[in-house]
Amino acid sequence: MGRTTDTRSRMVRTTAELLQRQGFHATGFAQILAESDAPRGSIYFHFPQGKQELAVEALRLAGARISRVIQRAAAAAGDAGELVDRVVGALAAGLERSGYTEGCPVATVGLETASSMEPLRRACDEVYADWQRLLAQALTARGVEPERAATLATMVITAVEGALLLARVRQDQAPLQLVAAELRRLVTA
Amino acid sequence: MGRTTDTRSRMVRTTAELLQRQGFHATGFAQILAESDAPRGSIYFHFPQGKQELAVEALRLAGARISRVIQRAAAAAGDAGELVDRVVGALAAGLERSGYTEGCPVATVGLETASSMEPLRRACDEVYADWQRLLAQALTARGVEPERAATLATMVITAVEGALLLARVRQDQAPLQLVAAELRRLVTA
Amino acid sequence: MGRTTDTRSRMVRTTAELLQRQGFHATGFAQILAESDAPRGSIYFHFPQGKQELAVEALRLAGARISRVIQRAAAAAGDAGELVDRVVGALAAGLERSGYTEGCPVATVGLETASSMEPLRRACDEVYADWQRLLAQALTARGVEPERAATLATMVITAVEGALLLARVRQDQAPLQLVAAELRRLVTA
Amino acid sequence: MGRTTDTRSRMVRTTAELLQRQGFHATGFAQILAESDAPRGSIYFHFPQGKQELAVEALRLAGARISRVIQRAAAAAGDAGELVDRVVGALAAGLERSGYTEGCPVATVGLETASSMEPLRRACDEVYADWQRLLAQALTARGVEPERAATLATMVITAVEGALLLARVRQDQAPLQLVAAELRRLVTA
DNA sequence: ACTCGCGGGACATCCCGTTTAT
DNA sequence: ATAAACGGGATGTCCCGCGAGT
């Protein structure tokens, strides 16, 4: 990590946004360079492995951002139900703010992965694993039995991921809210 | 006229498969033509609007296939829990059989959609709506109160969609099974 | 010639218009069929030699239309100056009416011709020769010495062709009017 | 930087030649690249707007070449008649040398322009305006009254443009020589 | 640390012409 | 006379990756 140049981190941030909105194959360097105002010559200096390397870093950045959302929710929430509410609320707000284009920052790439994109698949996997760990911890801290917490954390992630997908495709927050209500009951049962 | 229109439907079927595995932008005509053994000159005869038109038709076909899975599960299942089991089981089997490449046949495209791909987004939306209707009907037929059935149907779809995503990215059926168990309890409560 | 079908003559008329506006290479069958509302299967029934055959016929039709303009002007004009005025006036009106897209109906194709398009070049050549004959006749009939009439007819055609080109490119009738005035003086000298 | 930018100007020069001979729509990148021995990958580096941008530059280059012909003729010519002779002579020589394929370097493109090709139309317009200015200056310098010089300059251009068209279509220099003789008399009157 | 220019393959699209069947 | 389907080559465009030159 260390001290990255401005150009480099601007490229990563822009790429994260574009991957979230369009996926890997629809995102070209032309757009990345234009939106991050970076020079073409810098790509293979900063990212010798090319597009995949840049994408992996962008996915990690985007994943970490959501991790922080979960941590903040965990710090602020009283009970498990409120935790779910805060997390879903933050995601729903982002989706709506972006005109239903920015859902889960790793889902699109995760679904695009083929055998030639293993590093990307792995990066997505780690992001989900990280979120699951954080959620399970937060639930355990609220008195849920550890094994049950692990199960519930996975359930929350899957349902929210699916709800983000449906909400985006329908251009309507309803699925997110409906799922939030169900999950609230589930985790507080 | 020959034995035609065979070509056309072969193209649609092949495209459906490729969209499921790779998404829209990673799927090129070269691959579609090669795998469906179709002549290049026929593309714009059969699909004057080009790739999007073909993709819309492929998505509808793929959506209808899952609709039939749901209907068969509804016909065979005793209670609501068994219904969920059968649906998830079929999807999990497909995912595993394909080496974790064939998850939901419309999710990838749904997440790739930008403003210039409205017809695709709409097609995905309709597919999900259709599934939701079928599931809600099946639950109502098993004694669930209609409004609750609608909610549960959406919940089932979102959780399964998310589970298909996690399972694919993790290359492991565990999320699907875990979600199936939770949903079984939820719909039979 | 004889009695052509409706479809056939509609195709020729539409093609004439498109050749005048866009030239040969920019005019495709798709557009011809759409604008003439003709069925695709008719092309090679009516025009076995394909696009060039259709274009040759269209050029002849368009050439004959201008020939009639010249003949009408000759019939109505008093002196040679008025003759020039009437011809240029008709062409200028057509150019303006079409939003500066319809200049000379054969010039574009004439300039596009390569060695593989000999029939087209010849058709254009004949059109110009026809116009020159008609103009020379009309001038001779007004007392101009035959040899001089031939020269002046050619001069009128070249200057008007050039003026149509400049007027179109400039989107302004000025070059046509200026040229008309000069030619009037020239032919009445 | 190597010996670069050589490629770029070679592309422009080749394009100018092809536009003169075939027009815009008949000129493809394949031919441009082959005849200028340029790498395919450089097109959109040197000309981000694509074919139109390249064509505009080619038209300007070709226009400037004729401008120099006019300036040289003006420097060398004694009276206005000789000026016309020298200009027409140079154009006629080029036309004949090329086997009646290279007439006016901008006329074909000028006539092909549709609404989607505005930059091309404008480039042609400017070329003609430039020639007209140079010719008018040269005539004024030879004692012609300024307003009359402007008119005559336009007349010379239109007649020569038309003559280049007829000569090309007829594959015969006669129209050019005939027009040259008439113009000589006109400008020295 | 960064840039210019190359390199050439792939993309979706659209072309004109033909064949086979009415 | 027309239709349906093929046939495949060509179009302009855009892609990602590299290397020589500071």
Residues B142, B84: contact at Cβ < 8 Å? no
Inspect the interface and report whether the beta carbons of C165 and D161 lie closer than 8 Å: yes
Which backbone phi and psi does D138 adopt, to 5 degrees? Answer: -65, -35
Q: Which residues of B touch A111 (CB under 8 A)?
A: 23, 103, 107-108, 111, 165, 168
Inspect the interface and report whether the beta carbons of C166 and D161 lie closer than 8 Å: yes
* pLDDT over threshold 50, residue B1: no
d(CA C52, CA C50): 6
Q: Which residues of A touch B23 (CB under 8 A)?
A: 23, 25, 108, 111-112
Residues A163, A95: contact at Cβ < 8 Å? no
Q: Out of D108, D110, D158, name the one closest to residue C163 (CB).
A: D158
d(CA B3, CA C68): 53
Inspect the interface and report whether the beta carbons of C26 and D158 lie closer than 8 Å: no
Protein residue minimizing CA–C1' distance to F13: D50
A38: which nucleotide lies closest, measuring CA to C1'?
A: E2
Q: Which residue of D has its CA nearest to C183?
A: D155
User: Is the CA virtual torsion D137, D143, D145, D150 positive or negative?
Assistant: negative
Q: For the CA atoms of C129, C132, C133, C139, what is the dihedral angle to 10 degrees?
A: 180
For residues A94-108, average pLDDT:
98
pLDDT tens digit string along B72-114?
999 999 999 999 999 999 999 999 999 999 999 999 999 999 9
**In this structure, how many other beta carbons lie within 10 angstroms of the beta carbon of residue B173?**
17
Helix or strand holding residue C186 (H, E): helix C174-188
Say yes or no: B47 contacts chain A, CB-CB below 8 A.
Answer: no
Query: Which chains share 3+ C-beta pairs under 8 angstroms with D?
Result: C
Of residues C171, A166, A153, the one with CA closest to residue B160: A166
Inspect the interface and report whether the beta carbons of C124 and D186 lie closer than 8 Å: no
Cα B86 to chain centroid distance, Å, stands at 15
Optimal mutation site among B165, B185, B186, interface A, most CBs of chain A within 10 A: B165
The percent of residues in chain A predicted with pLDDT above 70, rounded, is 98
d(CA A68, CA A73): 8
Mean pLDDT of chain B: 95
Mean pLDDT of chain A: 95
Distance from residue D111 (CA) to nucleotide F3 (C1'), in Å? 36
- Nearest CA distance, A29 vs chain B (angstrom): 15
D4: which nucleotide lies closest, measuring CA to C1'?
A: E5
Q: Which residues of C touch D175 (CB under 8 A)?
A: 154, 158
Strand E nucleotides, any atom under 7 Å to a protein CB: 1-22
Protein residue minimizing CA–C1' distance to F2: C41
* pLDDT over threshold 80, residue B61: yes
Protein residue minimizing CA–C1' distance to F14: D44
- Nearest CA distance, B188 vs chain A (angstrom): 14
Whether D31 CB is under 7 Å from strand F: yes
- Nearest CA distance, B5 vs chain A (angstrom): 30
Distance from residue D36 (CA) to nucleotide E7 (C1'), in Å? 16
d(CA C41, CA C15): 17
Inspect the interface and report whether the beta carbons of B154 and A178 lie closer than 8 Å: yes
* pLDDT over threshold 60, residue A166: yes
pTM: 0.92
d(CA D15, CA D35): 9
Q: List per-block mean pLDDT (blocks of 10 residues) for chain D, which spans 189 residues.
A: 68 96 96 91 90 97 98 96 98 98 98 96 98 98 97 98 98 98 96
Whether B45 CB is under 7 Å from strand F: yes
d(CA D55, CA D36): 14
What single-letter DSSP state applies at residue B2?
A: T
Inspect the interface and report whether the beta carbons of A159 and B154 lie closer than 8 Å: no
Q: Which residues of B touch A124 (CB under 8 A)?
A: 169
Whether C5 CB is under 7 Å from strand F: yes
CA separation (Å) from D70 to B156, D87, D93, D135? 80, 6, 14, 7
Residues C132, C189: contact at Cβ < 8 Å? no
User: Is the CA virtual torsion C107, C110, C111, C112 positive or negative?
Assistant: positive
User: CB under 8 Å, gap of 24 or more: what pairs does C42-47 form?
Assistant: C42/C7, C42/C8, C42/C11, C43/C11, C46/C5, C46/C7, C46/C8, C46/C11, C47/C11
Say yes or no: D36 contacts chain C, CB-CB below 8 A.
Answer: no
* pLDDT over threshold 50, residue A24: yes
pLDDT value, residue B3: 41
pLDDT value, residue D27: 97
pLDDT tens digit string along D122-158?
999 999 999 999 999 999 999 999 999 999 999 999 9
Residues D47, D9: contact at Cβ < 8 Å? no
Helix or strand holding residue C65 (H, E): helix C51-76
DSSP state string for chain D: -TTTTHHHHHHHHHHHHHHHHH-STT--HHHHHHHHT--GGGHHHH-TTTHHHHHHHHHHHHHHHHHHHHHHHHHH-SSHHHHHHHHHHHHHHHHHHTTS----TTHHHHHH--GGGHHHHHHHHHHHHHHHHHHHHHHHHTT--HHHHHHHHHHHHHHHHHHHHHHHHHT-SHHHHHHHHHHHHHHH-
pLDDT value, residue C133: 98
Inspect the interface and report whether the beta carbons of D168 and C21 lie closer than 8 Å: no
Q: Which residue of B has its CA nearest to A101?
A: B114
Segments of chain C with pLDDT less than 70: 1-4
Q: Out of D110, D160, D162, name the one closest to residue C168 (CB).
A: D110
A40: which nucleotide lies closest, measuring CA to C1'?
A: E3
CA separation (Å) from B108 to B22, B24, B164, D84? 8, 8, 11, 69
Q: Out of D112, D158, D165, name the one closest to residue C166 (CB).
A: D158
Inspect the interface and report whether the beta carbons of C161 and D166 lie closer than 8 Å: yes
Whether D143 CB is under 7 Å from strand F: no
A3 confidence band (pLDDT: 50, 70, 90): very low
d(CA D74, CA B91): 83
